[in-house]
């Protein structure tokens, strides 16, 4: 590859994730734009990942498309042997002709998935979840009553600094 800027586009979906892990819980469509700047002794890869994850809301359990956008940078230096210094810097042996970015894309998308996926808030700041589901949740929510064990009441009064 010649020195200079090179651009690549990748579309990744369910088959891509299953190739790494047959039991992958990630189900969605992502567009990956890769900008590669090749220099004499190193390469700078800028990943711009956008797309959606087919998921259930962890609050109301309604299925929806969770939008995701992620930007990551990877610096690849040329050296004696291939190794990784950290998540952002990699050393590639000078005799290696190609760099497979699929594993990096897989990792970047997996790490961008939040632990708790919920509908985005509406413009007025209210939860974007199904209103009937929210009413049901509120109905079954544990509300403190006077019949709670009095031993716990004393512990609730303790202040921690």
The bridge status of strand 63-79 relative to strand 4-12 is unpaired
The count of structural domains within the chain is 1
The percentage of the chain sitting over the pLDDT mark of 70, rounded to a whole number, equals: 93
Residue 154 lies in a domain: no
At residue 130, φ and ψ (nearest 5 deg) are: -60, 125
- pLDDT digits 0-9 by tens, 90-111: 887 777 778 889 999 999 999 9
User: CA 131 → CA 30, 60, 63, 155, distances in Å?
Assistant: 29, 9, 14, 36
Domain extent for 127: 4-141
Residue 67 lies in a domain: yes
Residue 148 lies in a domain: no
Residue 150 lies in a domain: no
Residue 159 lies in a domain: no
- pLDDT digits 0-9 by tens, 101-148: 999 999 999 999 999 998 888 888 777 887 888 888 888 776 655 556
Contacts of 91 (CB under 8 A, 6+ apart): 76, 77, 78, 79, 81, 82, 83, 84, 85
Residue 30 lies in a domain: yes
Residue 147 lies in a domain: no
* Alpha helix (H) residue ranges in the chain: 14-20, 102-112, 131-140, 150-156
Give pTM, 2 decimals.
0.76
Residue 103 lies in a domain: yes
């Amino acid at each position: 590859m010649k020195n200079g800027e090179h651009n690549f586009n990748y579309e990744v979906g369910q088959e891509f994730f299953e190739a790494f892990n047959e039991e992958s819980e990630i189900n969605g469509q992502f567009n990956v734009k890769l900008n590669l700047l090749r220099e004499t002794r190193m390469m700078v890869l800028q990943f711009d990942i956008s797309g959606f994850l087919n998921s259930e809301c962890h609050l109301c359990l309604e299925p929806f498309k969770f939008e995701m956008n992620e930007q990551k940078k990877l610096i690849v230096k040329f050296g004696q042997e291939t190794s990784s210094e950290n998540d952002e810097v990699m050393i590639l042996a000078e005799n290696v002709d190609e760099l497979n970015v699929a594993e990096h894309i897989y990792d970047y998308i997996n790490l961008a998935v939040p632990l708790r996926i919920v509908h985005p808030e509406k413009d007025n700041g209210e939860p974007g979840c199904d209103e009937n589901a929210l009413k049901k949740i509120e109905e079954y929510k544990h509300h403190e009553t006077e019949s709670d064990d009095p031993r716990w009441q004393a512990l609730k009064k303790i202040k921690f600094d």
